[in-house]
Each structure stands twice: as structure tokens, then as C-alpha cells.
Amino acid sequence: MYIAGKIRRTMENTDERFMREALLQAREALDGGEITIGAVVTCNGRIIGKGHNMTERLHDATAHAEMIAITSAMEAMGGKYLDQCTLYVTVEPCPMCAGALNWAQTGRIVYGAPDPRRGYSMFSPSLLHPRTKVSAGVLCEECSSLMKDFFSSKRNIQSSSDASPRG
């Protein structure tokens, strides 16, 4: 019981540490006028890929943070599967990214804020690979407030329905 609790706490600390790295990526996106979503991929406790949304810079609607992070992780791994890896992303992946994470057979996905409009779980949780483990809500407040900052600065709207609400 004690050991299990201790392991869980250690894992939570690790998750928060890497989610902070994903948040750093998200802030970089903000600097570039991109939607504030960041992602990192880790393997054996080391970051092997990272990215943030680049849809504006690349003129590519598919240039989501997860896509960029997993592509760079695959390059680092020299392989197309990320079954030993964890992807951390500040906002719940969309169906496209969930599909890509499925193709990569991603071992684990950790996300911060839910996305009630475009999150994959709104469509079908089975978009992910059956062996992929999911943890949601890590640093949720920070992840979603960064999104809210983005939308309110971009569109000057009040509490937006675009930004993912807390919890």
C-alpha cells in the first residue's frame, strides 16, 4: 500500500515535470501567434521529441503539436513505433492526432486540459491503440488557462467556448 502510493506519487511528479516542458512548448507557440498547444515525447525518462502548433507558420492545418512531436520522436528513435514512449500534450488530442498516435502504437498519452469540442474522446475513445494508456488532467488549470489567454487575446472574447474549460 505504502509502496504503491509512493510509486504513484513519483509518477505524478514525473508527469508534472514533463507537462511543464509541454507547457514551455505551448508558450513558444503563443510567441509565434500559434494556438497555445505544446507536446513532448519521452522515452526512459528522456525527452526525444517536442513540438508546438505550427499551423500558421507552415500554412498547414495538420501541423498540430502532437504531429510534430511524434515525427521528431520517430526520427530520434529511428523507428515508426513509440510503444515504449509517453506523449505529453497540454490539451486533449483531436481525432487526427489520436489516429496518428494509434499508428505509432504510442505506449502512453498524458494530457492536461480536456477539449470538449474537438477532443478525440468526444468522437470515439477507441481511436487510440488498444494498448495505449491514458492519463488526463495533469496540470489541467495551467494548460487550459494558457488556451484561454490565447483565445481572449486573439478574438477579444470573454470566457470562450473555444478554450477548454477546467475539468
Q: Which residues are catalytic?
A: 66
State which H helix or E strand residue 27 sits in.
helix 2-31
Q: Are 82 and 74 in contact (CB under 8 A)?
A: yes
Q: Are 30 and 140 in contact (CB under 8 A)?
A: no
Q: What's the closest the beta carbon of residue 93 comes to Zn ion, in angstroms?
A: 5
Residue closer to Zn ion, measured from CB, 8 or 150: 150
Q: What's the closest the beta carbon of residue 113 comes to Zn ion, in angstroms?
A: 14
Residue closer to Zn ion, measured from CB, 64 or 148: 64
| Count of residues that interact with Zn ion, criterion CB under 5 A | 4
What stretches of 32-166 show up as alpha helix (H) in DSSP? 65-77, 95-103, 120-123, 140-155
Phi, psi of 47 (to 5 degrees): -80, 125
Dig out the grid coordinates for 55 from the structure. 499551423
Site string for Zn ion, 105-144 (x = CB under 5 A): ----------------------------------------
Dig out the grid coordinates for 43 from the structure. 522515452
Q: What's the closest the beta carbon of residue 105 comes to Zn ion, in angstroms?
A: 18
Dig out the grid coordinates for 53 from the structure. 502548433
Residue closer to Zn ion, measured from CB, 47 or 96: 96
> Binding to Zn ion (CB under 5 A): which residues in 51-110?
64, 94, 96-97
Residues of this chain that interact with Zn ion (CB under 5 A) are 64, 94, 96-97
